[in-house]
Amino acid sequence: DGGITQSPKYLFRKEGQNVTLSCEQNLNHDAMYWYRQDPGQGLRLIYYSQIVNDFQKGDIAEGYSVSREKKESFPLTVTSAQKNPTAFYLCASSLRGRSSGNTIYFGEGSWLTVV
Partner 1 sequence: DAKTTQPPSMDCAEGRAANLPCNHSTISGNEYVYWYRQIHSQGPQYIIHGLKNNETNEMASLIITEDRKSSTLILPHATLRDTAVYYCIVRVAGGGNKLTFGTGTQLKVEL
Query: What does the binding site for partner 1 look like in residue numbers (CB under 8 A)?
Result: 4, 31, 33, 35, 40-45, 48, 50, 56, 58, 88, 90, 92, 94, 96-109, 111
Closer of 82 and 93 to partner 1 (Cβ): 93
Across 40-62, b (16+ Cβ under 10 Å) vs e yields: eeebebbbbbeeeeebeebeebe
Answer for the pair 46, 21: CB distance below 8 angstroms, yes or no: no
Closest CB 101 distance from partner 1, rounded Å: 5
- 4 or 114, CB closer to partner 1? 4
The answer to whether the Cα torsion of 56, 53, 29, 1 is positive or negative is negative
Least distance (Å) from partner 1 to the CB of residue 67?
A: 18
